[in-house]
Amino acid sequence: MTSDSKVMFTRRGVLGAFAAAAVTAAPTFSNAAGFLRGAGDIRKIALVSRRTGERLETVYWIEGEYIPEALKEINHMMRDWRQNEVKSIDVRTIDIMAASHSLLQTSEPYQLLSGYRSPRTNNALRSKSRGVAKNSLHMLGKAADLRLGSRSVTQINKAAAACHAGGVGRYYGSNFVHMDCGPVRTWRG
């Protein structure tokens, strides 16, 4: 599932990406939004779920404004599919996902493994895996577990960590990267 292509992050490239977007929000939010290079006055996200068969590609931000209809589609896509419960996904998490995707320079949509998780789902997953946090940010709509077929866990992890905008966990055994808008930190699961 990995590609031989290498994604390199240079100081100049990262600084150029950061300078490309004008940002006026909180520090965590601004770090991720600043990496949305090449986006101009738009931000977009593309997701696919093998579990539900759903696909989404949408522009969710234009000229400094989030688009409520697009956020509603993202919330539905990132719902707890096990319980069919929808929760608003924190826009900071969406921005981190979009910024990381932009740094990876791919048009392939993220494979969404987990977005919002209801407490019931989170508890069920915790009973099967020690890697699921009791107070997971997934339950607050602040986290996502993602993969790309064309990029390695290491590549996705480096892109997300370069944003300095939240938590980034790399899970090599399960082939995914966790991204959240909580405190800036990294870990290996």
> Where do the structural domains in the chain lie, given as residue ranges?
11-188
Which pLDDT score is estimated for 31? 56
Task: Please check whether the domain covering 11-188 is classified as CATH 3.10.580.10.
Answer: no
pTM, to two decimals: 0.79
Residue stretches of the chain with pLDDT short of 50 = 1-29, 37-38
Which pLDDT score is estimated for 12? 42
Q: What is the DSSP string of 56-116?
A: EEEEEEETTEE-HHHHHHHHHHTSBTTTTB--PPPHHHHHHHHHHHHHHT--SPEEEEES-
Which pLDDT score is estimated for 131? 80
| Of residues 121, 135, 130, the one with CA closest to residue 182 | 135
Which pLDDT score is estimated for 130? 81
CA–CA distance, 30 with 1 (Å, rounded to integer): 32
